[in-house]
Amino acid sequence: MFSENLKTLRRQKGFTQEELAARLNVVRQTVSKWEKGLSVPDAELLTRLAEVLEVPVSTLLGSAIPDDKEPDDIARQLARINEQLAVKNRRSRRIWRTVAAVLIAVVVIYLLLIAASIIAFDKFRVDDPGTAQMTDYVEVMPEKKK
């Protein structure tokens, strides 16, 4: 895949990410994203990248594209790689959303249980350290006069 090929070729040429970025007029983080597989360069940058690394574009892309192919073929392959990255990113976001929803649900349930226990035990007051009286349920009955 492109990201592994880029990292290998960059190291073979002895470039750091920063040096390669400077030669391509991009920031180092861009090269890092390419190597991590988070994004891919456009067709123009890919061509410049191949020139800097002194390899054909097909070597960077990791497939057998003949060198006489048009930039449209390269653009189509880049579009396919971008689509694969988009699917991977959507799947990752969906997983993180699910994890977040489960964590929020657990926290809400925990808070509800704490609130319920506070309400239940709040009905008991400790007036004397040795005794507890239930105040809400005790009704004072008037005395009957005979």
Each residue's pLDDT tens digit, 89-139: 888 899 999 999 999 999 999 999 998 888 887 766 555 555 555 555 556
Q: pLDDT per residue over 5-15, tens digit each?
A: 888 889 988 99
Q: pLDDT per residue over 20-75, tens digit each?
A: 999 999 999 999 988 888 888 888 888 888 889 888 887 888 764 344 556 677 77
Beta bridge partners of 131: 128
Beta bridge partners of 133: 125
pLDDT at 102: 97
pLDDT at 110: 96
Fold of 2-83: 434 Repressor (Amino-terminal Domain) (1.10.260)
Residue 127 has φ and ψ, to the nearest 5°, of: -85, -40
Three-state DSSP class for 138? coil
- Tell me the two tokens of residue 19: 């040096």
What residues have CB less than 8 Å from 79, skipping those under 6 apart? none
pLDDT at 5: 85
Q: Exposed, middle or buried by CB within 10 Å (0-12, 13-18, 19+), for 119?
A: exposed
